[in-house]
Amino acid sequence: MRGNRKRDTRPEMAVRRLLHARGLRYRVHYPILAGGKRIRPDIVFTRRKLAVFIDGCFWHSCPQHGNHPKVNTGYWGPKLERNVSRDRTTNEELRGAGWRVLRIWEHVQPEEAAARIAASWREPASSTNGDGGSDVA
């Protein structure tokens, strides 16, 4: 399988395969209308209204690996901060539209990521899913 499309990153593909193996059916980059725009989460469970993002450690400033590049801070600093604040806005917009949002760092093992997604998937749609702040390394 070739992952030559930038958004089909390898960790994401592995997670998707595992979800599929668990019998979960999802849409990939399904457009959700929220906050007046289209948001395309990496994995979408339309009926459960569950949106999942697999976030790259660098681009989304993971606390473990997203340590800001020492070089060219003037360029990367603001750029990465913008990403993080955009993520926050996206979460709010999706939640405002009645979706649950699950963000998983790409460094999380695919098995662990799939287990977390499956757990959220099983939860009733009314319960909110924390802020995803706890990471299992």
Instruction: Enumerate binding residues for Zn ion (CB under 5 A).
Output: 57, 62, 64-65, 105, 107
Question: Which is nearer to Zn ion, 64 or 109 (by Cβ)?
Answer: 64
Choose among 127, 117, 132, 124: nearest CA to 25. 117
Q: Which is nearer to Zn ion, 35 or 132 (CB)?
A: 132
Distance, in Å, from the CA atom of 86 to the CA atom of 41, rounded to the nearest integer, reads 13
Helices (H), the chain: 10-21, 73-96, 110-122
Distance CA 27, CA 20 (A): 11
User: Min. distance of Cβ 111 from Zn ion in angstroms?
Assistant: 16
Report in angstroms how near the CB of residue 13 gets to Zn ion at its nearest.
Answer: 18
**What is the smallest separation between the CB atom of 120 and Zn ion, expressed in angstroms?**
20
Whole-angstrom distance, CA of residue 30 vs CA of residue 95: 16
Geometric angle at alpha carbon 132, from 16 and 62, rounded to 5°: 80
Nearest distance, CB of residue 9 and Zn ion, angstroms: 13
The residue (of 61 and 129) whose beta carbon lies closer to Zn ion is: 61
Which residue number, 16 or 103, has a Cβ lying nearer to Zn ion?
Answer: 103
Q: Which residue is associated with the tokens 């997203």? A: 66
